[in-house]
Amino acid sequence: MIPVAEARARILAVLHATETEVVHLADAWGRVAAAPLRARVTQPPQDVSAMDGFALRAADAAEGAKLRVAGTSPAGHPWAGTLQPGEALRLFTGSIMPAGADAVLLQEDAEEAAGIVTVRERVSAGRHIRRAGQDFAAGDVLIPAGRRLTARDVGLAASGNLPWLAVHRRPRVAILATGDEIALPGEPIPPGGIVSSNAHALAAFIRAAGAEPLVLPIAPDDEAAIAAAASVPADLLVTTGGASVGAHDLVQQGLARRGLAVDFWKIAMRPGKPLMFGRMGETPVLGLPGNPVSALVCAVLFLYPALARLGGRAEVALPTETARLGAALAANDRRADHLRARLAPGEDGRPVATAFTRQDSALLRLFADADALIMRAPHAPAAAAGEAVEIIRLAALGI
């Protein structure tokens, strides 16, 4: 058995980011920048007013001073003149500062009547002006390569006048579920059969990670059928089932007909254990267990980082955090454990993670109700309630 981290490192070592494509800003949310995104404009483009009020010369703006209103300049309607001593210009948030002015008097500190504005509060030079380039200058890197774009990033790119963005193509991930006993939802269920949940759950997980899933038809437990089903161009082929130690492990034999070079591991983990990784020609193949809970826990630990790498993300590490235990845990054995747990806010605000009493990997409903996985290292000693543990929030991964 090899440790989780080693298996993950070996997977990541052979995966590469997809190539670059260009998308419109409207389609950019959740995509990964393929190159540093540089501003095409300076923001603000010139010195602008930060408030509604009056542009003036600070030297003129003693309390009680009266200035002649030389004009009005709404945002988007710059004033062409130069402000003279004793003059003020009515303007608004975002209006370009006129030549000659060096401060803005807030409108609530001003009284305007008959073309004259009276200063009610002294204003010093530079007040309420946003300087040209204060946010960024043309050519500045706004977003580094490898960042998955948030709504704020989309706004920032728009602000930098970038209607088209270079991003990594979404990885295409084919999913092959195998087994004589499984049917897709809605299909006739064979005698002794069950409804397959892995294919659709993995497809949703893959979509949440920003990739494009393709659910292949279920392959029966037959080498030739498996070989035929796996003939699909993809950046990654994910299989589920057929990877246990039983006599019906046909996925590897089936894919071997298509040239699979296999690196088959038992991982020192629970739930899970058997994991297959290899290459079928150019296509990396990740074989997950058939058990639904095991398959999805393995997806978190191995598929999530793999998709991050394929998708060009700079950060491929799983987002872990610390919680306190809500209930004691027994010492762990030699396998890393991943306990399904509820989270609740603790007295000091820190999350409290309480593992479900039942950790049977057959309980998909309990897993769906979990908020987090508690990560227990191999041979972790018994831990009392209140001790710190490492967790992964499931919803944060879209799973």
Return the residues of window 95-154 that contact a second copy according to CB under 8 A.
95-96, 107, 130, 134-136, 140, 142-143, 149-154
* Torsion angle defined by CA atoms of residues 61, 65, 68 and 72, in that order, rounded to the nearest 10 degrees: 50
Query: What is the smallest separation between the CB atom of 287 and a second copy, expressed in angstroms?
Result: 15
| DSSP SS3 for 274 | strand
Identify which of residues 156 and 308 has a Cβ nearer to a second copy in the complex: 156
- Look at the block and give the residue holding tokens 């030699």: 334
Cα(331)–Cα(89) distance, rounded to whole angstroms? Answer: 74
> Of 59, 116, 125, 195, which one interacts with a second copy (CB under 8 A)?
195
> Of 58, 166, 363, 380, which one interacts with a second copy (CB under 8 A)?
363
Identify which of residues 262 and 363 has a Cβ nearer to a second copy in the complex: 363
Residues 298-317, mask of contacts with a second copy (x by CB under 8 A): --------------------
Secondary-structure breakdown of the chain: helix, strand, coil percentages, each rounded to the nearest 5: 20, 35, 45
CA nearest to 160, candidates 63, 40, 243, 50: 40
Piece in contact with a second copy (CB under 8 A), picked from 7-15, 176-184, 279-287, 375-383:
176-184
Instruction: Enumerate residues 6+ apart whose C-beta is below 8 A from 110.
Output: 53, 54, 117, 118, 119, 120
Are the CB atoms for 279 and 14 separated by under 8 Å? yes
| 93 lies in the site for a second copy, by CB under 8 A | yes
> Of 32, 61, 89, 157, which one interacts with a second copy (CB under 8 A)?
157
Interface with a second copy in residues 13-42 (CB under 8 A): 25-26, 28-30, 41
| 92 lies in the site for a second copy, by CB under 8 A | yes
> Of 36, 127, 159, 266, which one interacts with a second copy (CB under 8 A)?
159
**Cis ω on the peptide bond leading into residue 233 (within 30° of 0)?**
no
Residues 245-284, mask of contacts with a second copy (x by CB under 8 A): xxxx------------------------------------
Cα(243)–Cα(177) distance, rounded to whole angstroms? Answer: 11
| 388 lies in the site for a second copy, by CB under 8 A | yes
Residues 321-360, mask of contacts with a second copy (x by CB under 8 A): xxx---------------------x--xxxx--------x
> Of 3, 78, 100, 378, which one interacts with a second copy (CB under 8 A)?
78
Query: Cβ–Cβ contacts within 10 Å for residue 238, how many?
Result: 30
Residues found in the chain:
399
> Of 71, 193, 212, 225, which one interacts with a second copy (CB under 8 A)?
193
Identify which of residues 38 and 279 has a Cβ nearer to a second copy in the complex: 38
* Torsion angle defined by CA atoms of residues 47, 53, 56 and 60, in that order, rounded to the nearest 10 degrees: -140
Query: What is the smallest separation between the CB atom of 168 and a second copy, expressed in angstroms?
Result: 17
Go through 19-58 and write b for each residue having 16 or more CB atoms within 10 A of its CB, e for each that does not. Answer: eeeebeeeebebbbbbbebebeebbbeebbbbbbbbbbbb
> Of 196, 283, 332, 354, which one interacts with a second copy (CB under 8 A)?
196
- Look at the block and give the residue holding tokens 């009005």: 72
- Look at the block and give the residue holding tokens 């300049």: 73
Identify which of residues 268 and 280 has a Cβ nearer to a second copy in the complex: 268
Piece in contact with a second copy (CB under 8 A), picked from 6-14, 261-269, 288-296, 372-380:
288-296
Interface with a second copy in residues 50-69 (CB under 8 A): 50, 52
Size of the site for a second copy (CB under 8 A): 108
Cα(30)–Cα(37) distance, rounded to whole angstroms? Answer: 15
